[in-house]
């Protein structure tokens, strides 16, 4: 499975030997504020996104690169059990 952040949505690609499937989920995490976050996952994404945008000298200054990096970091934290999606 591969996840690709494209601005306001995430594209998930699932491949096997017989087919490719693509799913698109709009979550607006490129513009949501921390007050609009629906769960800890979104709060983490927004916090990382904002930190990266304030520290361009350390990271990417391109918004798409920054959002993709934020997606990778947030997904790794989720996979490691450090955060999870839950209701407010």
pLDDT tens digits, one per residue of 45-72: 898 888 777 766 665 667 888 788 888 8
Per-residue pLDDT reduced to its tens digit, 15-46 = 999 999 999 999 999 999 989 999 888 888 89
Strand partners, 17: none
The DSSP letter of residue 81 is T
Token pair recorded at residue 29: 């995490």
- Tell me what pLDDT residue 27 has: 93
Is residue 86 over pLDDT 80? no
Residues 6+ apart with CB under 8 A from 64: 5, 6, 7
Give 50-65 as a DSSP string.
Answer: HHHHH-TTTS--SHHH
**Can you give the residue ranges of every domain in the chain?**
2-79
Give the SS3 label for residue 70: helix
């Amino acid at each position: 499975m591969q996840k690709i952040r494209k601005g306001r949505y995430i594209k998930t690609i699932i491949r096997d030997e017989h087919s490719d499937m693509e799913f698109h989920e709009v979550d607006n995490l490129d513009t949501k504020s921390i007050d609009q976050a629906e769960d800890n996952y979104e709060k983490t994404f927004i916090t990382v996104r904002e930190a990266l945008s304030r520290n361009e000298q350390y990271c990417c200054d391109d918004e798409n690169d920054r959002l993709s990096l934020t997606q990778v970091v947030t997904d790794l934290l989720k996979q490691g059990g450090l955060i999870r999606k839950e209701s407010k």
